[in-house]
Amino acid sequence: MAEAGRGVRARRRVGPASATRTGGRAGSPDPDGSVRRGRARRPAAPQKKRRKKSRSAGSSGDESPPRKKAKAAKRKKVESSSSSSSDSSDSSSGSDTERDSAGSKSSGEDSVREGGSKKRKMHATWDLLNDIWPLEERPRKLQDKRYVGRLSWPTLMALQDRYEKEAEKKGVGSAIYGKDRRLKKIRFRGKADDGYAKLHKARWLRLPMAAPDKYWRRVPRAHEQRFRHLQLAHYGAESQINEKVILSLHDRQVPVELKMLLRGNYHRDSGKGTDLAEPAEVRHLQEAVCNYMTACHVLWPFDYGPLVILRVLIENRWGEAAGGDMRERVGLVTRFFNEVVGDNSGRAVRGEPPLDYEKVRAKWGRQVEMAFPQLGFLAGAGQATGGKAAKAGKETRAGSAAAGKPGGSGSSPRAVHSGRPVCFAFNLRDGCKRQRGAADACRDPNGKLYAHYCNYFDRAKNAHCLAMHSRCANH
């Protein structure tokens, strides 16, 4: 009974109302009919009731659902319009800032462009002004690049005209325009040069503007790599120079002879053999000298020796002092050429530059002295050997040969006084113009002394006069 009473009390405690109140969690019957014992959790009824009340209040309110929907739609519309306006304001402010930044950027670019164009214009004006009006000839203020950049081109031209007129008034125009500008230093990048198609830019520079003795020790004496065949067709010298001669010309220390450069000896052994043909006419001499100049121009463009030889030969008309005797004329030019080339080879061994014009001219005069003493030292006296002098020499040789007197071969013994040869220029009408080396002697460019005495040869006595007067005034 007690158990039955406990079960009834439990059923009373856990009934349908409580079951529904607890949501079927505590005290809900199991499928087998038994009831779970335990303390039921207290549900959050007030919240559910409040929600239900609010729902019920909403549903039972005065506003109808369509009106509510319309109000909600209006609210959404207002919100969307406000958001769109804020977005538009943000976008407008962003676009304004973008415009401002773009404007400032474009203005900055314009200023940069303007500054770059000004600099380019200033550089162009400066370069053009340097070409028209050299820097050294302008006033000091116009040598400032910034100052020149501020002036217009017509202003600069007007300044130049005015400056030139002022210089002419002062009489210094020729002195101003006689100066040369300094050479600009040029730096080259290190690049390869194969000597054929890939050529370095340094090859196209002009020759040095300094005197040869300033740089000649840097000129090599010989080329290590030698070639038998050179590009000579564009010179018109193809098949003109023997291959062995070309190999010899690769070394400036090796002398060559004039006959080795003849076209007729192209197929012969151009060593120092005796089978080489000798020049017989002046055109042979000219051909050999031209071949020598061509080969040296290809191999040694710095060597001015061949040009000096050519100049002296042209001034003296290729040995016209010998008159009509072609053999003597050819012999004179051949000896002169061989002597100068030999001396230049010796100077190359010592690292010295070739003989200059004055020294080569003196050598020509000595050759004329030795070959034709009756003509005097004409080349040394500054006169060309030819014309009347050559005709007079020819008549003297012919007269003495016809008379059968000593010296009939066309030459007389050389006059010598106290061991010094007599100066032939001293016995001419114009007199000697060389430097005095002693009271009774002159000195040639090589330092050799010549005695100032009469060189008249008395054939009856077979001796020279050797008095201290000129032959021209006393005989």
What are the sequence ranges of the domains in the chain?
115-168, 226-409, 413-475
Four-CA torsion 326, 332, 333, 338, nearest 10 degrees: 140
Euclidean distance between CA atoms 97 and 426, whole angstroms: 102
Distances (CA, A) of 41 to 6, 20, 189, 220: 22, 13, 97, 118
Average pLDDT over residues 67-91: 61
For residue 417, the cross-strand partners are 420
Find, among 346, 458, 325, the residue nearest to 397 by Cα. Answer: 325
Q: Which of the listed ranges 195-209, 262-276, 315-329 does the model predict with the highest average pLDDT? A: 195-209
Torsion sign over Cα 76, 77, 83, 87: positive
Please write the tens of the pLDDT for every residue from 429-467: 777 878 887 888 888 877 788 888 888 888 788 888 888
Is the pLDDT higher at 303 or at 430?
303
CA distance readout (Å), 375 to 313, 359, 363, 370, 390: 17, 20, 16, 10, 8
Task: Say what the pLDDT of residue 106 is.
Answer: 53
- How high is the pLDDT of residue 252? 94
In this prediction, residue 224 carries a pLDDT of 92
pLDDT of residue 18: 46
Q: What is the pLDDT of residue 47?
A: 53
CA 416-421-422 angle, to 5 degrees, is 85
Range list of H helices, 171-281: 173-176, 212-215, 243-249
Q: What is the pLDDT averaged over residues 239-263?
A: 93
Per-residue model confidence (pLDDT) at position 99: 55
- Single out the residue of 461, 385, 474, 394 nearest to residue 426, CA to CA: 474
Q: Higher model confidence: residue 214 or residue 396? A: 214
Give pLDDT, residue 299. Answer: 95
Q: Taking a C-beta distance cutoff of 8 angstroms, is the pair 268, 240 a contact?
A: no
Question: Residue 86 corresponds to which tokens in the numbers above?
Answer: 């804020």
Torsion on CA atoms 118, 124, 125, 128, rounded to nearest 10: 180
Q: How far apart are CA 18 and CA 33, in angstroms?
A: 17
The answer to whether 212 touches 342, Cβ cutoff 8 Å, is: no
pTM of the shown model: 0.50
Closest CA to 413 of 343, 461, 452, 379: 461
DSSP 339: H
405/2: higher pLDDT: 2
126 C-beta neighbours (distance < 10 Å), count: 14
Quick one: CA torsion of 422, 427, 433, 436, rounded to 10 degrees?
Answer: 40
The pair of structure tokens assigned to 349 is 């061994």
Pinpoint the alpha helices (H) of 300-325.
305-315
Closest CA to 317 of 359, 291, 285, 358: 285
The tokens for 106 are 């474009």
Percent of the chain with pLDDT over 90: 26
